[in-house]
Amino acid sequence: MKERFAIVGSALLLALPLAFGAARAKAQSIGFLSTQLRPVVETTRMRTAILKDFPQKVAFIPTFPEQLLIQATADSKRAKPTLSLFGALHGELEPLVPAGLLAPVDALAPMAKARGVPAGLMALARLGTMHEMYIPWMQATYIMAANRKALPYLPKGADLDHLSYQQLAQWAANITKATGRRMLGFPAGPKGLMPRFFEGYLYPSYTGGVVTTFKSPAAEKMWAFFKGMWKYVNPNSTNYNFMQEPLLSGDVWIAFDHESRLLDALRQKPTDFVAFPAPAGPEGRFYMPVIVGLGIASHAADAAGAAALVKYLLEPKTQLLTLEETGFFPVVRVAMPSNLETGVRLEAAAIQAMQSAPDAKQALLPVGLGKHDGEFGQIYMNTFQRIVLRGQTIGSALAIEAKDLQRIMDAAGAPCWSPDQPSQGVCQVR
């Protein structure tokens, strides 16, 4: 009997401070629900390293993208909401606006602008309203990389940081002429991210849109150009999934891919490779930033704390720490420290050069497609296959695929997203 008392007593003694501690932490901690940094390694790094120097306690809660709206809604209906801040992709934050779950963050915009968040990103963050609805937090994107052996063949007057698609084609042609080999490469393999090249780079740069302009005369010109350039593209491209591999093996000298899929090459042989922005077309230097934003909950338990946390996360030193810990690049202007890994520094410089180029414009990841995103990408790959690989007439190939594209847009019920102009109702192929 005595023993039992002792056990219960000590358990109580142990539990009491824990319970109090939890209650106190709950009262003070800022609820931060995030669809990003979900893998347990990244979550741990966020909690233990990135948030370490923030004075207040933060409850960082990773969640699945499809759960964000549900959890945010449920929390807003509680007597005492616990969430204050949402971290999610641009397209994931958008549905929170009509649900009234995001509070405008105009008060934080001057801070973000002063720290160098590009105006284009700030404009996107309005999510179609008059107010800033989120503050850009971190980003990933697609860039280009080249073997230094390719540099002597750059066309005259071409500047690596301000390349045009015409110059890229000329560059690849020069290499083929000199070496007899086709050294430009694209990740057009089964698991490659080639669809994003069409959606966020080539289509917008040539047509100013991606859905509405799908079969426009500008699109026809673009495909004619791309088909011409493909003569200098390594035919193994339809097998490449990660461009870092053919870059490292020397099968390809110039490549386009997601920065994380080029990083190994730049990491392993930083003196052999250069990284640079994507080229520009007639409509500008479109690129596809994968933007993660921070939105403050309209029912925030601690709005002031959330705002302070946003400021903290946008500090240059926190942004650098985020880069080192998670591989997501800064959205603010930062001086890359010399002890930063060379591969990462090369990519960071390329990304900064890309987003600060005078003709830089942003194309978004598809918004509102949900499970149709894969099929949407397939439309661009099918068009590519028809026109470039099978030599079908451009006009008829575009007409066939445009029908399928419209069918997908109708099925998803998705309005247009940037680079296309906003639409009333479902986005229409013109």
185 is a site residue for another protein (CB under 8 A): no
From CA 173, how far away is CA 167, in angstroms rounded?
A: 10
**Binding window for another protein (CB under 8 A); candidates: 42-50, 58-66, 106-114, 228-236:** 228-236
196 is a site residue for another protein (CB under 8 A): no
386 is a site residue for another protein (CB under 8 A): yes
DSSP three-state, residue 141: coil
Nearest distance in Å: CB 380, another protein: 12
In the set 377, 394, 414, 419, which binds another protein (CB under 8 A)? 377
77 is a site residue for another protein (CB under 8 A): no
From CA 362, how far away is CA 125, in angstroms rounded?
A: 12
Nearest distance in Å: CB 309, another protein: 35
147 is a site residue for another protein (CB under 8 A): no
Handedness of CA 124, 129, 135, 140 (dihedral sign): negative
From CA 42, how far away is CA 40, in angstroms rounded?
A: 5
The closest alpha carbon to 71, from 92, 40, 49, belongs to: 92
Contact 295, 134 (CB under 8 A): yes
From CA 417, how far away is CA 362, in angstroms rounded?
A: 11
Nearest distance in Å: CB 368, another protein: 15
176 is a site residue for another protein (CB under 8 A): no
From CA 140, how far away is CA 67, in angstroms rounded?
A: 22
Tally of CA atoms within 13 A in the half-sphere of 36 that contains its CB: 23
Contact 109, 332 (CB under 8 A): no
The closest alpha carbon to 63, from 49, 52, 74, belongs to: 74
244 is a site residue for another protein (CB under 8 A): no
Number of residues that bind another protein (CB under 8 A): 21
268 is a site residue for another protein (CB under 8 A): no
339 is a site residue for another protein (CB under 8 A): no
**Binding window for another protein (CB under 8 A); candidates: 167-175, 236-244, 269-277, 418-426:** 236-244
Give the burial class of 27: count Cβ atoms within 10 A of its Cβ; 0-12 exposed, 13-18 middle, 19 or more buried: exposed
Handedness of CA 39, 42, 48, 51 (dihedral sign): negative
In the set 14, 151, 389, 399, which binds another protein (CB under 8 A)? 389
252 vs 351 by CB, closer to another protein: 252
42 vs 257 by CB, closer to another protein: 257
**Binding window for another protein (CB under 8 A); candidates: 100-108, 127-135, 291-299, 368-376:** 368-376
Nearest distance in Å: CB 211, another protein: 18
| Token couple for 99 | 């649900």
**Binding window for another protein (CB under 8 A); candidates: 12-20, 285-293, 378-386, 421-429:** 378-386
In the set 157, 249, 338, 425, which binds another protein (CB under 8 A)? 249
CB atoms within 10 A of CB 57: 14
In the set 148, 181, 231, 430, which binds another protein (CB under 8 A)? 181
Contact 351, 259 (CB under 8 A): yes
236 is a site residue for another protein (CB under 8 A): yes
Q: Which amino acid is at 270?
A: P
Tally of CA atoms within 13 A in the half-sphere of 391 that contains its CB: 1
371 is a site residue for another protein (CB under 8 A): yes
In the set 95, 116, 120, 189, which binds another protein (CB under 8 A)? 189
Summarize as ranges the residues that interact with another protein (CB under 8 A).
180-181, 189-190, 234-236, 238-239, 249, 251, 371-372, 374-375, 377-378, 382, 385-386, 389
